[in-house]
Amino acid sequence: MQGLRALQHDVLERLARGRPLQETMNELCRRAEQLVPPVICSVLTVDREGRLHPLAGPSLPEHYSLALDGMRMGPDAGSCGVAAYFGEPIEATDIETDPRWADFRALALPLGLRACWSSPIRASNDRVVGTFAFYYPSCRGASPLDRTIVETCVHLCAIALEQEERKERIRRLAYFDAVTGIANRAAMEQLGESAIAAAVANGFGAAIHCVDLDNFKEINDTLGHRAGDILLKSVGERIAAIVKKGDIVARIGGDEFAVVQSHAASPADVGGFAMRLMEAMAAPFDLEEAMATVGVSVGIARAPDDGFDLRTLMRKADFALYEAKSSGRGHFRFFDPGIESRISANRRIWQDLKQAVDGGEFELHFQPIVALGVARVCGYEALLRWRHPRDGLRTPEDFLPVATKAGLLYEIGAWILNEACASAAALPPDARVSVNVSEVQLEKTGFARDVAAALAGAGMDPSRLEIEIAGPLRLDDNAEILSCLTAIRQLGVSIALDDFGAGGATLAHLRALPVDRVKVGRSLTQAAATDPRAATIVKALVVLAHDLGVATTAEGVETDAQLRMMRQFGCDEIQGFVVSPAQPLSAFLEGADGARPPLSLA
């Protein structure tokens, strides 16, 4: 039995050293065959679907092993298939006459295989994971020595197969996404690099497609995480269904996927794939409790045009994805250097904004508002400016979009509100101060309390403060915003719709929201002087507002002709360069002239 102990020692040592499974099992078979010649050994694995696959059989012809690959276990599937099916050792002492070999004897007999004894290999949970077989060149059963050797070999095979399953589970955890079953970011980084290098070396070219689901968060929030997981899995399946052999599909983030297109000879090839990808997402997804439609945005970088390594290409594809989403979603974009420049500039602004909030770099400028009926200043609009240490004075158009994405808008808006209320003390007591607020601020719980606190902190009469609703405002599911505006109005603060008829404010907002004033947008005001249709719209807006008991202010009035037209239309107030540009508060305090309208308004 010394040879058996040596076999056991050598196999265990191979397993401990992490030698390849097939190599170790072939060695086990060879060593067992040396102990009891002329026996031939084989090891088959059994998958979760009950199919057998050759793992080792160094003395069996290749065609014999290939013929068994994928064979389903069953009561008449030869010794190995039956042993796996019943989970018991099966001895066929005469293959030629054994009915369990009826479908396979023509395969075995020409090779001189006359008898077969197969034993199931069980995992620690008792599941059959394989079979170990002795083939004999004569009709016979197993000897006591055979049984001792097989018992040891089956035990060693069980250890080896379980170890391999554990390694495979670890590999799947490391390289496959648990939700979708496709490759994860780690696998993408490992496989993508070599795929791109090979494609470029062979002259095919390659492309990276970064894919982002456009409304995944809404589905996840409204239908639940299970629906979200089903959606992610379905998206992975649809992408995998359209890629070609050699392409790589991976989930690289929450709702982000990536594809390495390994044959991308021209922009047309790449764009064609992106179109097919977007078309594959067009059909609704069955999420069990509901059907959902999901759009995708795609950013693309190409090798070798945009880079040679995966990290560079992923970064540039991500830039292109950002551009695709910024242009309205549901698009694909190729990377170009201009995108990188714009995004780099925005990132610099992002970093600088964080410093600006803490470093006191913001300041307010004020633009006078003139009441046409009495030709005098009746209020001021507080407008944000950023005194950038490098770039000088910057207007909100330069940085507010970035501030919004950075999540700084509420913090900046709070500063504007408090600073504007504090500044009101230096202005005439009958002049109101208008402050722009965004949907982000109105949606935040407690914003009405913030307004009340700013008024109290500055000792400001609430009737002097006007909140201007700036930018687009959702009207669907807007109970929280309506409640917030109602609470602000109950404080005695007035509400205005900014940029009416030209920007985000519409007739629907005028009907739904508790407003005291509409401000005709600058572009509409300026067009009215030369465009009869625009003039008719402005005139109608003024009449409509008055019929609803709402005051009107025309923004962007820059010429005497525009001023006369607004007065003729019955507009209550104007603001614009014809009165004064926005200036620091000190400009209106240092001399009386800065606080009065010019004579042409009288």
The C-alpha atoms of residue 321 and residue 326 are separated, in whole angstroms, by: 8
- Confidence (pTM): 0.61
Q: In sequence order, what DSSP letters do the residues of 20-55 get, joined into one string? A: -HHHHHHHHHHHHHHHSTT-EEEEEEE-TTSEEEEE
Question: Look-up: residue for tokens 């005001």?
Answer: 525
Tell me the mean pLDDT in the region 7-16.
Answer: 94
- The distance of Cα 276 from the centroid of its chain, to the nearest Å, equals 19
- % the chain with pLDDT above 70: 96
Domains, the chain: 2-174 (3.30.450.40), 185-335 (3.30.70.270), 347-592 (3.20.20.450)
pLDDT tens readout for residues 319-341 = 999 888 877 778 899 999 888 88
Distance of alpha carbon 50 from alpha carbon 52, whole angstroms: 7
**Beta partners for residue 552, in sequence order:** 518
pLDDT > 90: what percent of the chain? 70
pLDDT at 598 over 70: no
Cβ–Cβ < 8 Å for 427, 418: no
Q: What tens digit of pLDDT does each residue of 191-207 get? A: 999 999 998 888 889 99
Report which residue type is found at 251. R
Residue 572 phi, psi (nearest 5): -75, -40
Give the per-residue pLDDT at 72.
96
Q: Which helix (H) or strand (E) holds 380?
A: strand 376-388
pLDDT tens figures, 83-123: 999 999 999 999 999 999 999 999 999 999 999 999 999 99
Give the 3-state secondary structure of residue 94. Answer: coil
Cα-Cα end-to-end distance for the chain = 119
Indicate the SS3 state at residue 391: coil
Structure tokens at 388: 């950038």
Q: Which of 305, 202, 317, 210 is nearest to 262 (CA)?
A: 202
Tell me which of 597 and 474 has the higher pLDDT.
474
What mean pLDDT do residues 159-173 have?
Answer: 91
- pLDDT of 502 > 70? The answer is no
DSSP 113-170: --EEEEEEEE-TTS-EEEEEEEEESSS----HHHHHHHHHHHHHHHHHHHHHHHHHHH
Confidence of residue 594 (pLDDT cuts 50, 70, 90): very low
Provide the angle, in degrees to the nearest 10, between the axes of the packed helices 310-326 and 185-201.
Answer: 110
